[in-house]
């Protein structure tokens, strides 16, 4: 996720309801993971930042003592005793509340029921989301983080690099400087549509003029190359 703001309460993921379920949300510069059963919520949190890519994972092992974990950027940052993982049938949601949920109060004093109409939608980007029905190990979560934090994962849009070299030389066969004039123009442009399709045009014009009886030779070379990130046409 990449959040525009981490101080206001925003939901990344919620599943279940206000009486039983789980949620990952932002508040007061922290990322929270909460589990709920019988209207009682248990939350842990860790510091996070805005306008940067982060990876978060919640491992919920029911009420097993210290058997639930919060991971941030591939590292275990909290372990806690979660609530019982009771059957819950309410809808799930990414980036908002589907119906209702239980999350940390804005003053940090406890948890409270929050509904869709209360407004807690996420402002930012969620790149990828996974759910497993087995408990992932620390090594597996670290591997997921490493695979998702490479250049292809964290760069949005089209990343381009271009190099151009141009050489123009002119010589005369006469021992004396004669009247010589030369003009060279070079245009290189590249454009892209709002998606990832690219077009490029290169034009080169070279002209030389000489006075009578002067032998001239000229060489012009042009190299134009463009590189792109993987998966971009």
Q: What domains are defined for the chain?
A: 2-154 (2.60.120.200), 160-228 (no CATH)
Determine the pLDDT at residue 185.
59
pLDDT reported for residue 139: 94
Percentage helix, strand, coil, to 5, in the chain?
Answer: 10, 50, 45
More confidently predicted of 45 and 169: 45
Strand partners, 32: 25, 45
pLDDT of 161 above 60:
no
Average pLDDT over residues 27-42: 91
Residue 64 to residue 62: CA distance in whole angstroms:
6
With a cut of 90, say whether residue 193 has pLDDT above it. no
> Over pLDDT 90: what percentage of the chain?
34
Per-residue pLDDT at 44 exceeds 80: yes
Residue 161 three-state SS: strand
Q: What pLDDT is stored for residue 86 in this prediction?
A: 78
On the question of pLDDT at 76 being above 90, the answer is yes
Q: What angle do CA 53, 108, 42 make, to 5 degrees?
A: 80
Cα separation, 44 vs 39, whole angstroms: 17
How, if at all, do strands 68-72 and 75-80 pair? antiparallel
- pLDDT value of position 217: 60
Q: What is the pTM of this model?
A: 0.62
Please, what sign has the CA dihedral across residues 124, 109, 91, 74? positive
Q: What is the mean pLDDT of residues 112-129?
A: 91
pLDDT, the chain, mean: 78
Residue 147 predicted with pLDDT over 80: yes
169 vs 107, higher pLDDT:
107
Question: What one-character-per-residue DSSP string does 197-217 give?
Answer: -EEEEEEEEEEEEE-TT--EE
pLDDT class of 20 with cuts at 50, 70, 90: confident
């Amino acid at each position: 996720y990449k959040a525009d703001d981490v101080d206001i309460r925003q939901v990344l993921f919620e599943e279940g309801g206000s009486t039983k379920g789980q949620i990952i949300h932002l508040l007061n510069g922290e990322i929270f993971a909460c589990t709920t059963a019988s209207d009682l919520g248990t939350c842990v949190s860790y510091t996070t930042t805005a306008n940067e890519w982060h990876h978060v994972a919640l491992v919920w092992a029911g009420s097993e003592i210290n058997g639930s974990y919060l991971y941030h950027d591939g590292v275990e940052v909290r372990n806690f005793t979660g609530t019982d993982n009771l059957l819950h049938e309410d809808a799930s949601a990414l980036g908002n509340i589907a119906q209702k949920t239980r999350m940390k109060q804005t003053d940090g004093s406890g948890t409270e029921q929050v509904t869709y109409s209360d407004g807690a939608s996420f402002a930012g980007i969620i790149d990828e989301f996974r759910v497993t029905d087995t408990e992932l190990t620390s090594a597996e979560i670290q591997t997921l983080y490493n695979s998702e934090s490479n250049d292809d994962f964290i760069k949005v849009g089209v990343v381009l690099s271009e190099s151009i070299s141009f050489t123009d030389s002119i010589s005369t066969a006469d021992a004396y400087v004669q009247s010589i004039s030369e003009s060279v123009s070079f245009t290189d442009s590249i454009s892209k549509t709002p998606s990832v399709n690219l077009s490029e045009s290169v034009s080169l014009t070279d002209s030389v003029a000489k006075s009578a009886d002067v032998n001239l030779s000229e060489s012009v070379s042009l190299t134009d190359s463009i590189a792109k990130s993987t998966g971009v046409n």
